[in-house]
Amino acid sequence: MVHLPGLVHNKDIGQVLDGLRNIRLTVRGIYGEGSDIIGNFFQVSNSITLGLSEEDTVKNLEGHVRKVLEFEKKARSVLLKKARSLLEDKIWRAYGILKTARLVTSKEAMSLISAVRLGVGLGIITDCRLSTLNELFIMIQPMHLQKLHERVMKTEERDRARADYIRTRLG
């Protein structure tokens, strides 16, 4: 799983994804095959299963993901240089919404967490830990919320529980 908001914002993501597909890596949305890209999170996996050892497969995947992360780092740098004020505004608005919202959908929360995660990665937001955002990424999913509350919940109940959970964790 990789978080690539810089490449998405700079509109370079298509080229990067095409490059990964050309070297036989599979790129999917957060929920696997056929899922949408939400919050600038991507699953990258190997699509070659024959002819390579497990060790070689892992090394190959790891090497290519590292290159993608270098492209992401450069994209973030370009974003800071070209549109710092707009970027900071988007990040701080997302943080403010997460800290105060009373209802938030899964999709909206993922998008907002993505922006805040970018802000933490760039050192714009310093009072929030990446580990907290990673926890939120997992715990705000519908089934995790229902497990936490030990009951099946309707959509609006989950949206309220999600917002409550986020506000508590970001406190």
Q: How many Å from the N-terminal Cα to the C-terminal Cα in the chain?
A: 27
Each residue's pLDDT tens digit, 90-145: 999 999 999 999 999 999 999 999 999 999 999 999 999 999 999 999 999 999 99
Q: Where are the domains of the chain?
A: 2-170
- Residues 119-156 as b or e (16 or more Cβ within 10 Å = b): bbbbebbeebeeebbeebbeebbbeebeeeeeeebeee
CA 115/CA 138 separation, integer angstroms: 16
Answer yes or no: are the C-beta atoms of 68 and 6 closer than 8 Å.
no
pLDDT level of residue 148 (50, 70, 90 thresholds) = very high
Number of residues in the chain: 171
Pick the residue with more confidence: 53 or 134?
134
> If DSSP codes are grouped into helix, strand and coil, which group holds residue 154?
coil
pLDDT of 80 higher than 80: yes
Distance CA 140, CA 21 (A): 30
Residue 107's pLDDT is 93
SS3 32: strand
